[in-house]
């Protein structure tokens, strides 16, 4: 029987997204892919996957982070209006929105990078050579 799956589908959609959401390497699940909160290692120490697959790779991560922050800002404004109704305390609403607009992208920054890497390998499947240290599970026809 011929093996038709590529390496990305071997890992699985849910697992790749879960790894991205938890600041892990989307290919192997390695946790140690950051040198601090803001600095991602150039490649995964476990599988060798290079996170910047092409130039400008992390523009997508910025887009993910901006989208999540925009949603958080809208939610904070809705909650602010709901909590302060019927008087609508604008200083509190604006203050909380400013805090959200600073805190959320800071906290979400590393997740946006690993999540974008995960989304990227779902859109452009992983080539065999992109994770050279990856230990692959045995297939049926492997000896
Ligand atoms: Zn890895």
Peptide bond into 86 cis (omega under 30): yes
CA 100 distance to own-chain centroid: 19
Query: Phi, psi (5° rounding) for residue 82?
Result: -65, -40
Give me ligand 1 centre to Cα 27, in Å. 5
pLDDT at 15: 93
Distance from residue 134's CA to the centre of ligand 1 (Å): 7
Q: How confident is the chain (143 residues) per 10-residue block, as mean pLDDT?
A: 53 92 94 94 93 90 96 95 88 94 97 96 87 64 40
3-state secondary structure of 87: coil
Residue 61: per-residue pLDDT: 95
CA of 129 to the centre of ligand 1 (A): 13
* pTM of structure: 0.82
Tokens in use for 115? 């999540």
Task: Name the residue ranges covered by the structural domains of the chain.
Answer: 7-130
């Amino acid at each position: 029987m011929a093996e038709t799956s590529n390496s990305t589908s071997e890992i699985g959609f849910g697992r790749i997204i879960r790894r991205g959401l938890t600041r892990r390497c989307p290919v192997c699940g390695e946790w140690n892919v950051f040198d601090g909160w803001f600095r991602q290692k150039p490649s995964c120490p476990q599988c060798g996957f290079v996170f910047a697959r092409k130039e400008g790779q992390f523009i997508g991560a910025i887009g993910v982070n901006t989208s999540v922050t925009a949603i958080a800002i809208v939610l904070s404004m809705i909650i602010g209006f709901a909590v302060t109704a019927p008087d609508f305390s604008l200083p509190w609403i604006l203050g909380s929105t400013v805090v959200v607009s600073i805190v959320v992208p800071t906290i979400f920054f590393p997740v946006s990078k690993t999540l974008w890497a995960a989304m990227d390998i779902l859109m452009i499947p992983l080539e065999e050579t992109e994770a050279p240290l990856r230990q692959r599970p045995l297939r049926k026809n492997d000896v």
